[in-house]
Amino acid sequence: MGATGVQWPIVEAYLSGGRRAKNLRNAIGKFNIVWSSAIVLVYWMMAPLLEKNPFLIVSLLGGLHVIIAFFIAQLPNEPAKHVEEDHEPHPPVYVPLLRVFRMMLIASYVILSVMIPLMPSIEARLGLDELWWTPIASTWLTVRVVFFLVFERWHGWHGHWWTPWLGMSAMILGFALAMLAPTIGLPNAEGLNVVGVVLLVAGLSLAGVGIAATYYGALYYAMAVGNADVDAGGKHEALIGVGYTVGPLCGLFGGMMTDGPAGVIGITSMVVLMMAYTQCGSTRFGLSDTMRAYPSLVLDRLFWSIQPIHDAVLYLLIGSFNGVHMKPTKSILLAVLGTTLGLSTLPAISGTPTETPITPTPQMVWDKALQGEDSGIADLLTPDLWMSSADADFTDALALLQQNIVKREQTRGESIDEANETLDEHLAKFDENGSYIELSKALSAAVALQLLYDNEDVFFSDEKISRLIDQSIEAAKKAESKGDWLIASELFYRLDAIHDQTGTFKDDVDRLTRRLTMIRLYVPERLWELRNERRLAEELDGLPPYNSYGDLYTDKLQGIDSITVRTAIQRAAAQHLSRQSKVDPSGVSMNDLIVGGIDAVSTMATTTDLSAAFLGFADDRQRSQFIRELEAIRAKYADNSRPASAYDLRRAIDSIMSASRDSVSVMPEALLHEFGNGAIAQLDAYTSIIWPDEVARFRRSTQGEFIGVGIRIQLDELQNITIVTPLEGTPAQRVGLQADDIIKKVDGISAVGLGLDQAVEVITGPPNTDVTLTVERRSEDETGAETLEEIEFTITRAKIDLPSVKGWSKNGPTDDDWDYFLDRDEGIGYVRLTGFTEDTTRDFDRAVASMKEEGLNALVLDLRYNPGGLLDQAVQLSSRFVPHGMVVKTVDAAGITQDRQDVRSVNPKYSVRDIPVVVLINEGSASASEIVSGAIQAGAHKGKNKALVIGARSFGKGSVQNVYMLPGGLSAMKLTTQHYQIDSPRMIHKIPGATEWGIEPDLHVEMLPSQSAEALLLRRDADIFPIDQFGNEIVDAERPDPSTLISDGIDLQVQTALVLLQSQVQDSIAKTTMKD
């Protein structure tokens, strides 16, 4: 800056010296055209070049200064003079015109330094794609070049008072239009405010005209009146520096002091004009936008403040030189000095830390997080940096966060050591006894180790891990070949967990899962035996005796017929997203579906454990005959060159039935069940047939309600079915069931040994029917001795609602009894969504309305472990956060949009668009959760709302399933037909082999596996409000406090969200206080 500031007045003086009026105008015109064109070029090119190689660019610029200095050194000691006898004197009107233009020159650069920082915010609010930001923002630069050319060619503007009036009017009107553009007009369906964009371009164009007239006039009259002296140019440049300094200060001051609407107040000075417009802008665009722009300009571009001081000193020095204006040595030294100073700024440009301490601001913190600068925000959240600018509560919160981060890293190191020890221990035992159980435990330790490492390359480069993987692959294959399905499944499952990114073992996992699923359905007692043998082999207590209550496969297969299965497969072949088509010739064909179904039946035939249910499989000759027949049928359809049809599907199924009748005589419903599952498995993980016994569970998962008695149950360490809590207002609570009761019988039949799914099936049922539960209850007699008694309760089943909206702390027995405030003093709310059911948005609105009554300043939306749900609810909920534009659209296999959902109108009392929001996501956030978090994030990146997404990358389920009832009305199917797309180029859906999927948080906050597990358990227990059979609180009941999630550093994601929002709320309060 120093070298540039020195050279400009010299160049202007030598350019102007000794020229007649017309020649002077032309020389200045050409000079203006050259430098302004160079600025347009630099505006477009410098940012990407600086990002790629800042050292090279600054070095080149410095070298250019040195070269220019050498050229300057060759000039005479002083420029030519306007000698009166040779040149006509300037008209008298030039003197007052010069005074006016100099005032306008300051004003023009005040306008620029108020307007330019707001451009990204203005363009984002207009809904402009970032691709257009630079072209539109540079409109005034381009117009300035054009009008420099006009003024250079046309001389009719000289010596006339209408010229400054034109410049002043154009600047004022252009500035006003540009600043107010986002407040005029409405966004279209794409979220673009076309009227606003037109006004912005018009405003920038007018500003360009006014700035061109002002600069041209100020420089021309300065040189004409100042006799082409260097000090005339020095004054000119010094006034520009004043404008560059005053502008950001005006913007900053106006942003801090304004709280209500303010218009343009008609001004006598341009600085007052800037203040008025800044006040208007801060109100119109939101305080945060103004405060985001100006401090960064004042702090990050402090060199503008140096220019007026430098130029003032330069003016005095040059004036005292009396013609000895610039000796070559001084010129070169200043150029070298400028280069050196430029290179010294490289650490700031390239992001290298310097020793200079910074004073962080809340907006700086938010912007760093929004830009995904994880390390940058960690540096800004150092408590010592905030001591002078924040209150003690906030600095204490920062200190606790830093302390808990250190604690996490200490825990990580300890956990890595423990995992390594466990791994070594089990590997040593495997080497000693060859037990596959020890190998599986070693793999489990390796998975834990992988999750703890920051760098997976370090993990995979460990020879111990490589050896373990090789041994496990060999062991898994041997176990499967011997029919040891359970251990083979364990080994392949853990191998797949380690190689999740590549999917190397996915087919193996799917195959073993199918086998075990068949065993679970047809011979559940055999699965119990496998699990019990496994526990005994580990020297653990055996499982309770097997209980077959509600577990007969013949009951579960009722209602399955050929028409049901064929209809499902035909619909999949015709409508599935990845079906074979002209667009996707390599997609899944009917041949693939038929072959998949046959392979599943073959897997069934080779799962020897099923012989207990199907006696034909026990006869090796009959089983072999059946398998040969299956291979022959398969060969007919394996060749995709002959496309199969619906008729071929029917023939294939009939052939399988015939082959079974001639050999193993398996019941047709079982063959159809496995054929249907195998065929549909060729598609994606989310397409499935919902069999008759699964329909009720599926409806419960989507409707948020079920028919039952109203209890939460779990298996304790002895595999007893234990009541966690009766739900308030339900039949179970009214009859007197209590937490910790153990269910011993259901309708007089023993419940010992039942799995959770079995228990749910037998306890639930049609509405208004009775079920009798016999429970074992521990109590104390009069002497204090513990007693056990069995109590029988007859309960009438009813509809049970499953609320999906929860708060921070449960403070009563009903669904609405929540304390929704994470920080009540600062007005920071917290809402956790466990799914998207029919009532989710309604319940969310109630929570927001209740918080607003108490003062809601910011909100945490917790979508972690939320598997999704109804699309309509996702769109409605997103509309509470984003003011306009697209929420989500669905596209088919050809990429053609089939449906588009835009933001819907929202009652202001339920809207949270005007407050800071942090959305929490993790690997358990899927489907509708990804739509909501993605829509909020996309809106924030476009400046529509103030929000951050933090946590870990989401699950990556971005496909659309339609549900169809199948013939007979007993079965249904989920069919993937489209993909979701949010207002972002990123694909949500995780495709095998992909490295990008899901929603990537703005700020990654890691939680160790142990922290996540502890947080889940604590949250589960804290959400239970202990009540007796009369619905009254059990006062002395033990119950964890959710605040320990933060104080003990268990949930760093919630804690980080809280600190970020506390910084924003503090900032808002500080500004309000300053205004008052």
Segment 1053-1067, tens digit of pLDDT:
999 999 999 989 876
Q: Which of 801, 823, 838 is the last residue of a domain?
A: 801
Give yes or no: residues 679 and 786 share one domain.
Answer: no
280 is a domain residue: yes
| Two tokens, residue 28 | 């200045």
Residue 817 pLDDT more than 80? yes
Give yes or no: residues 226 and 275 share one domain.
Answer: yes
Interatomic CA distance for residues 880 and 935, integer angstroms: 11
The stretch 1010-1037 carries a mean pLDDT of: 84
The stretch 518-526 carries a mean pLDDT of: 93
Neighbours of 333 (CB within 10 A): 13
886 SS3 class? strand
Band of pLDDT at residue 835, cut at 50, 70 and 90: very high
Neighbours of 186 (CB within 10 A): 9
Interatomic CA distance for residues 28 and 11, integer angstroms: 11
Q: Which of 374-388, 576-590, 764-778, 827-841 has the lowest mean pLDDT?
A: 374-388
The stretch 26-51 carries a mean pLDDT of: 69
pLDDT of residue 522: 95
Instruction: Output the domain CATH number for residue 937.
Output: 3.90.226.10
Residue 289 pLDDT more than 50? no
Domain count, the chain: 5
Interatomic CA distance for residues 687 and 571, integer angstroms: 11
494 is a domain residue: no
430 is a domain residue: no
Neighbours of 643 (CB within 10 A): 12
pLDDT of residue 120: 78
Q: Half-sphere exposure of 588 toward its Cβ, with a 13 Å CA cutoff?
A: 24
421 is a domain residue: no
Neighbours of 655 (CB within 10 A): 16
717 is a domain residue: yes
Give yes or no: residues 853 and 718 share one domain.
Answer: no
pLDDT of residue 121: 74
Band of pLDDT at residue 44, cut at 50, 70 and 90: low
DSSP H stretches of helix in 138-286:
139-153, 162-180, 194-225, 230-257, 270-285
Give yes or no: residues 844 and 918 share one domain.
Answer: yes
543 is a domain residue: no
pLDDT of residue 559: 93
Phi/psi zone of residue 372: left (φ > 0), alpha (ψ -120 to 50 degrees), beta? Answer: left
Burial of 436 (0-12, 13-18, 19+ CB in 10 A): buried
**Mean of the per-residue pLDDT values for the chain?**
80
More confidently predicted of 209 and 130: 209
The stretch 174-181 carries a mean pLDDT of: 82
Interatomic CA distance for residues 257 and 279, integer angstroms: 8
CA proximity to 309, closest of 236, 227, 242: 242
Q: Model pTM greater than 0.75?
A: no
Instruction: Identify whether the C-beta of residue 250 lies closer than 8 Å to the C-beta of residue 298.
Output: no
Give yes or no: residues 263 and 382 share one domain.
Answer: no
Give yes or no: residues 650 and 759 share one domain.
Answer: no
pLDDT of residue 9: 57
pLDDT in tens, 696-712: 888 777 666 678 898 88
Give yes or no: residues 155 and 19 share one domain.
Answer: yes
CA proximity to 469, closest of 448, 431, 499: 499
390 is a domain residue: yes
Q: Which of 304, 321, 352 is the last residue of a domain?
A: 352
Residue in this structure with the two tokens 């400054």, named with its chain if needed? 164
Give yes or no: residues 818 and 780 share one domain.
Answer: no
Give yes or no: residues 201 and 327 share one domain.
Answer: yes
Residue 332 pLDDT more than 50? no
pLDDT of residue 19: 58
Band of pLDDT at residue 257, cut at 50, 70 and 90: very low
CA proximity to 916, closest of 415, 364, 288: 288
The length of the chain is: 1076
Give me the percent of the chain exceeding a pLDDT of 70: 78
Instruction: Identify whether the C-beta of residue 523 lies closer than 8 Å to the C-beta of residue 609.
Output: yes
pLDDT in tens, 844-858: 999 999 999 999 999
Instruction: Output the domain CATH number for residue 771.
Output: 2.30.42.10
Instruction: Identify whether the C-beta of residue 120 lies closer than 8 Å to the C-beta of residue 132.
Output: no
Interatomic CA distance for residues 1052 and 391, integer angstroms: 22
The stretch 326-338 carries a mean pLDDT of: 41
- Residue-range definition of the domain harbouring residue 381: 363-370+373-410
Give yes or no: residues 838 and 860 share one domain.
Answer: yes
* Distance from chain centroid for Cα 337: 46
Instruction: Identify whether the C-beta of residue 936 lies closer than 8 Å to the C-beta of residue 947.
Output: yes
| Two tokens, residue 333 | 């030294």
Residue 1029 pLDDT more than 80? no
Q: Which of 382-391, 618-627, 899-908 has the lowest mean pLDDT?
A: 382-391
Q: 796 phi and psi, to 5 degrees?
A: -90, 125
Neighbours of 1029 (CB within 10 A): 13
CA proximity to 949, closest of 890, 882, 868: 882
Instruction: Identify whether the C-beta of residue 805 lies closer than 8 Å to the C-beta of residue 767.
Output: no
Q: Which of 801, 830, 857 is the last residue of a domain?
A: 801
876 is a domain residue: yes
pLDDT of residue 468: 94
- What is the per-residue DSSP string for 436-460? HHHHHHHHHHHHHHHHH-S-HHHHH
Which sign, positive or negative, has the C-alpha torsion 253, 259, 261, 266?
negative
pLDDT in tens, 966-975: 999 999 999 9
Give yes or no: residues 722 and 762 share one domain.
Answer: yes
pLDDT in tens, 387-439: 777 788 888 999 999 999 999 999 999 999 999 999 999 999 999 999 999 99
Give me the percent of the chain exceeding a pLDDT of 90: 42
Give yes or no: residues 769 and 866 share one domain.
Answer: no
DSSP β-ladder status, 705-708 and 798-801: antiparallel
Residue 781 pLDDT more than 90? no
Residue 470 pLDDT more than 90? yes
CA proximity to 107, closest of 194, 29, 214: 214
